[in-house]
Chains A and B, each alone.
Chain A
Amino acid sequence: MDVSASRDVPELVEHLFRRQAGRMLSSLCAVLGLENLDLAEEVVQEALIKALTDWPYRGIPENPRAWLARTARNLAIDALRRQARFRDREQAIAERLDARSRCIPDPSDLDEDSALPDDQLAMIFACCRPEIPLESRLALTLKTVSGLGVGEIARAFLASETTIAQRIVRAKRRIEELAINLALPAPEELGDRLDSVLHVLYILFNEGYSAAAGENLIRLDLCEEAIRLARLLARRPDTGTPRTLALAALFLLQASRLPARVDHAGDLLPMAEQDRSLWSRELISEGLRLLSGAASGDQLSSYHLLAGIAAEHAVAATFHSTNWAHVLDLYDMLVDVDPSPIVKLNRVVAVAMAKGAQAGLDALDQLGEPKTLRDYYLLPATRAELLSRQGRYAESREMWRRASEKPCSAPIRRFIEKRLAEHTPPPWLRGNLTSG
């Protein structure tokens, strides 16, 4: 029993098991075939359990990753021996597993997996196939690539564990139906397949950045995972396309604001009220570096434009000194590429900041009441803010009241209530209020 603190064992690094689970699973599937994903998952789980029941007593091994990989290899071979369908291939498979378990990273490199191995990249591509329903893609990627547990994924998406389990089953079924191989796409296919992966990461990040409902506005784990995978993809020459770099830049620039986004009570702070000294300088500079890397070639994607907008905010000292003319330009281009109501609504804010509240209200009138925004609190909230700026407080209050009727998370609800209270004059003033 390792009771002596003097023995030189490495500290468990953050997320070691999670990362290793993802790597082990990809290696096993690369050798056993994606159709044996369930078997591979069992092997990985058993390997981790062995660590769980062994390391507390015997101490953590010098090279934990190698220990886990070797254990998984041995368990896999045991599993193969028990199954007739592998019997004649057992030797060949064992050799391939051996080869993979020999490629173990240096123990001193324990802090992060700095390179994305081919197996794991192939796994990401497989999980993000466009033929798999989007929600299932998300669940499967988080489980197999990111090594999150079903319970953790359920909490992140505010769904039940059963729902998440069903999504994962659906994904696996699709994989079987399509007889998907675990292999990197051919170079001519890579572009399209990569788009699908980037889309999944985009959804993942957004989900983490602001939850649709529930107590915690920010689901950091999802953001972190999206950032981690985006960074890894950006580093590989085959996947580090301008679009990938732009997406990674977008994530980093948005994430840089996370420390300032909620106040001490866990309530939402709009960008105008955030303490910008809390924005992460490191993330901003890394994001800007990636963005300039993305500004090469002839690909201009919506990720570029979104990242560009985020960059304008990141370099501005205050909300008001932001280069709103630039931001508006970018939104104009974005609306061309993606004329969705949400994008148009965001553009309204840029119009108002660049050209004044009335211009913003006119743009809002042009937008109208599209069906997709019917339950979106930000539609009446934006109008409320613009009316407020024009001193039309009674109308503004009515808009805040409408906003309060929309479904939203608890922190956002508190934010709306606060605004509503601010726009409700005290009783001694109410009689004098003129309608605006």
Chain B
Amino acid sequence: MPKFMLILHDSKDRGYMSLSPEEMQNVIQDFRDWARKTAESGAMLGGEKLADEEGRRVKRGPEGTIVLDGPFSETKEVVGGFFLIEAADYAAATAIAGGCPQLSWGWVEVRQLDPHAGSDSCALGEVRDLIDQNREAQLARA
């Protein structure tokens, strides 16, 4: 079955700042319910929360790779995290994303993993490499 990545984006105004304590608790409860439902359906493959900072960009410069600060501080958009799910098609994947409480204060990007890229573990491996690179870039910071 095809795999999709759900990338959680926060909207620019960080609407959750004005939530009352009760409203915040309801959101967490919604998240748990959504995650449990998605996991029980077998669709959830995994996910991670990104750390609370802007990350790094790695580019190739004239003398080798350069590591720059993450783009997010400029665009003021924050990626909260990502999930990997399994779904029959985009319709099914967006239906799952539609239930994600992230929609209360941001939006969810849905991207299909390249079905021709090889085996299942290969796709996940690519994502893991991305995470590892990020960590290495962090360590490379003086």
DSSP class of A's interface residues: helix, strand, loop or mixed?
A: helix
Segment at the A interface, from B38-46, B112-120, B122-130, B131-139: B38-46
Query: What are the residues of chain B within 8 A of A1 when measuring CB–CB?
Result: 35, 46-49, 81, 83
Q: In this assembly, does A3 line the interface, its C-beta being within 8 Å of a C-beta of chain B?
A: yes
- CB atoms of B23 and A149 under 8 A apart: yes
User: Once bound together, how far apart are the Cα atoms of A65 and B116, in whole Å?
Assistant: 47
Residues A149 and B22 in contact, CB atoms below 8 Å apart: yes
Tell me whether B21 and A147 are in contact (CB under 8 A): yes
- A325 at interface, CB cutoff 8 A: no
Name A142-173 residues within 8 Å CB distance of B: 147-152
| Segment from B24-32, B58-66, B68-76 that makes contact with A | B24-32
Candidate in B16, B21, B31, B40 with the most chain A CB atoms within 10 angstroms: B21
Cβ A17 vs Cβ B22 within 8 A: yes
Subset of 30 A-B contacts with CB under 8 Å: A1-B46, A1-B48, A1-B49, A3-B38, A3-B39, A3-B44, A3-B47, A12-B25, A12-B29, A12-B32, A15-B25, A17-B24, A18-B20, A18-B21, A18-B25, A20-B21, A45-B17, A49-B24, A51-B28, A55-B28, A56-B27, A56-B35, A148-B22, A149-B18, A149-B19, A149-B20, A149-B21, A151-B18, A152-B20, A152-B22
Enumerate A37-73 residues with CB–CB distance to B below 8 Å. Answer: 45, 48-49, 51-58, 60
Contact: B40 with A5, CB < 8 Å?
yes
On whether A21 and B39 interact (CB within 8 A), knowing A51-B28, A56-B28, A57-B81, the answer reads no
Number of A residues, CB within 8 Å of B = 30
Bound complex: CA of A20 vs CA of B22, how far in Å? 10
- List residues of chain A with CB within 8 A of the CB of B31: 55-56
Given contacts A3-B47, A49-B17, contact A15 B22 (CB under 8 A): yes
Task: Report the minimum CB–CB distance from A38 to chain B (whole Å).
Answer: 15
A162 to chain B, nearest CB (A): 14
> Which of A15, A45, A52 contacts B28, CB < 8 Å?
A52
